């Protein structure tokens, strides 16, 4: 007999920035109980699904989630009680209908996602199946290569670097555990180098350093130095990935590289700048190199660079199948950053992943800058099989929790664990 949902409730908890977020609990009639917590972004895309906040300035500066809790307890719970937790798609569609808004603005994407994830977790527990196996369905599971954000600029740091995230990707490692070790050792080497040069080594929201370097180029150079100091060969063992988060320095139709003093550029000049970086640095992936509404610029970038590197759309696609479909038709990029809370349900996120796979596009499963100790993301990344995860640097427990869960999964899979370079031609997307 299939299990039934007996109770759903939520509570206000805190995320890694000390801002309120939501934890939803699902109890089944077979005695199983599970919870899940919603992350939260800072450099959010304009077209993301709505994160419901109270707006009451007297509580948490307006960021409270009491209304969201209420929506789970009073609107979603009564509708879902009695349903089969294995019917994930039916449950998610019902919540979408209950909300009735294209941007999930009535109930809130945070409300729907925390319930959606808790339902999936309860279902997997009820079947005594690991969450990653349950979520995978018939997809081929794969351990992801981490894209580790170890150095920050842009809106995330008070320095002379325009670009938001400089990441290392240990593509040459034979296993996930080894990839993580390569990345962590590079992070520690970078800390040593920065300290020696007299820079601060405090970390930002995702665990990356934010030293006061002089330019965007210096950021790449110091990371290359760290890769070598850690005993690895840049490009072969550990490559670079970049997320400029270009919407944050796009103003009045121009890209303003104010922090580094490189002046104003149009999309074509930005694309030439990235092209010149490809000649100098072992860059394999470029995310949001242009602004979220610059579809034409993205298309030109993909034409210019897309056969050599991965062009990832984050804010431009916001994990929304409608935007991804347009992107595939117009060849706007060749990969998508997948964030569950940008769209608001597990079902729609999986739909976005499947669209990418069908088009042969890259899939990068990503955290948000505000996270919790929930490790759903790790299982989700393995289940989707895209072979790439973005879950921060090599410190801060909310990031490390995901890495530790991935270590557990790889150990559990033993000889069946698949780990491969997702950038290699012929690698399964």
- How distant, in Å, are the alpha carbons of 57, 112, 227, 252 from that of 189? 43, 41, 7, 40
- CA gap 315, 368 in Å, rounded: 12
**Angle subtended at Cα 142 by Cα 140 and Cα 146, rounded to the nearest 5 degrees:** 150
Nearer to ligand PGA, 185 or 205 (CB): 205
Q: Are 312 and 337 in contact (CB under 8 A)?
A: yes
Q: Is 405 in contact with 418 (CB distance < 8 Å)? A: no
Is residue 339 among the annotated active site residues?
yes
Contact code string over 288-317 relative to Zn ion, x by CB under 5 A: x-------------------------x---
**Residue 42's binding partner out of ligand PGA, Zn ion, none, with CB under 5 to 8 Å set by partner kind:** ligand PGA
* Residue 243 vs 410, nearer CB to ligand PGA: 243
Binding-site size for Zn ion (CB under 5 A) equals 3
| Candidates 185, 206, 292, 371; catalytic one | 206
Quote the CA–CA distance of 129 and 384 in Å, as a whole number: 16
Alpha-carbon gap, residue 324 to 333, rounded angstroms: 9
Query: Long-range contacts made by residues 121-125, C-beta under 8 angstroms, separation at least 24?
Result: 121/26, 121/34, 121/35, 121/36, 121/376, 122/5, 122/26, 122/27, 122/28, 122/32, 122/33, 122/34, 122/85, 123/3, 123/85, 123/86, 123/88, 125/32, 125/34
Residue 48 found at the interface with Zn ion (CB under 5 A): no
CA distances from 355 to 144, 309, 422, 429 (A): 19, 20, 17, 11
Gap between the Cα atoms of 220 and 213, Å rounded: 10
Binding track over 314-333 against Zn ion, x by CB under 5 A = x-------------------
CB 312 to ligand PGA: min, Å: 9
Here's the x/- map for Zn ion, 62-101, by CB under 5 A: it reads as ----------------------------------------
CB-nearest residue to Zn ion: 314
Q: Which two tokens stand for residue 235?
A: 């490009």
Question: Does residue 245 belong to the site contacting ligand PGA (CB under 6 A)?
Answer: yes
Toward Zn ion, which CB reaches closer, 185 or 288? Answer: 288
Tell me which of 11, 42, 79, 127 binds ligand PGA, using CB under 6 A: 42
Position 368 contacts ligand PGA (CB under 6 A): yes
Written as six digits, the tokens of 288 are 């949001």
CB of 4 to Zn ion, least distance (A): 39
- 41 binds ligand PGA per the rule CB under 6 A: yes
Q: Interacting stretch for ligand PGA, rule CB under 6 A, among 21-29, 196-204, 267-275, 366-374?
A: 366-374
Instruction: Tell me the window of 36-44, 49-57, 99-107, 275-283 that interacts with ligand PGA (CB under 6 A).
Output: 36-44
243 binds Zn ion (CB under 5 A): yes
Find the binder of ligand PGA among 51, 185, 314, 379 (CB under 6 A).
Answer: 314
8-state DSSP, 421: -
Residues recognised as catalytic: 206, 339
Contact residues toward ligand PGA (CB under 6 A) are 41-44, 243, 245, 314, 366, 368-369
Contact residues toward Zn ion (CB under 5 A) are 243, 288, 314
């Amino acid at each position: 007999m299939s299990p039934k949902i007996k109770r759903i409730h939520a509570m206000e908890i805190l995320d890694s920035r000390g801002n309120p977020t939501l934890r939803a609990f699902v109890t089944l009639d077979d005695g199983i109980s599970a919870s899940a917590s919603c992350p939260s972004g800072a450099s959010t895309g304009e077209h993301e699904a709505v994160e419901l906040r109270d707006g009451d300035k007297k509580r948490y500066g307006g960021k409270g989630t009491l209304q969201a809790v209420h929506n789970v307890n009073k609107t979603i719970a009564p509708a879902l009680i009695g349903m089969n937790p294995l019917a994930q798609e039916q449950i998610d569609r019902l919540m979408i209908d209950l909300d009735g808004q294209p941007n999930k603005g009535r109930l809130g994407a945070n409300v729907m996602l925390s319930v959606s994830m808790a339902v999936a977790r309860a279902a997997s527990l009820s079947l005594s199946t690991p969450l990653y196996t349950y979520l995978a369905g018939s997809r081929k599971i794969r351990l992801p290569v981490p894209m580790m954000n170890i150095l920050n600029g842009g809106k995330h740091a008070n320095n002379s670097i325009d670009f938001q995230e400089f990441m290392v990707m240990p593509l040459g490692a034979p296993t996930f555990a080894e990839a993580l070790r390569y990345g962590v050792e590079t992070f520690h080497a970078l800390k040593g180098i920065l300290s020696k040069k007299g820079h601060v080594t405090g970390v930002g929201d995702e665990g990356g350093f934010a030293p006061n370097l002089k330019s965007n180029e210096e950021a790449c150079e110091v990371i290359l130095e760290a890769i070598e100091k850690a005993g690895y060969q840049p490009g072969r063992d550990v490559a670079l990935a970049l997320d400029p988060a270009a919407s944050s320095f796009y103003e009045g139709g121009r890209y303003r590289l104010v922090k580094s003093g490189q002046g104003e550029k149009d999309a074509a000049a930005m694309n030439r700048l990235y092209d010149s970086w490809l000649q100098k640095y072992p860059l394999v992936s470029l995310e949001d190199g242009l602004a979220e509404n610059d579809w034409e610029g993205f298309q030109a970038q993909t034409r210019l660079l897309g056969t050599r590197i991965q062009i990832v759309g984050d804010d431009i696609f916001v994990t929304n199948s409608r935007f991804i479909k347009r992107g595939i038709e117009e060849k706007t990029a060749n990969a998508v950053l997948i964030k569950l809370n940008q769209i608001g349900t597990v079902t729609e996120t999986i739909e976005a992943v499947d669209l990418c796979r069908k088009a042969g596009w890259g899939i990068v499963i990503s955290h948000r800058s505000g996270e919790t100790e929930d490790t759903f993301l790790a299982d989700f990344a393995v289940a989707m099989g895209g072979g790439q995860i973005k879950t921060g640097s090599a410190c801060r427990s909310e990031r490390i929790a995901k890495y530790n869960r991935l270590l557990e999964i790889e150990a559990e899979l033993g000889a069946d664990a698949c780990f491969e370079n997702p950038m290699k031609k012929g690698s399964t997307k």
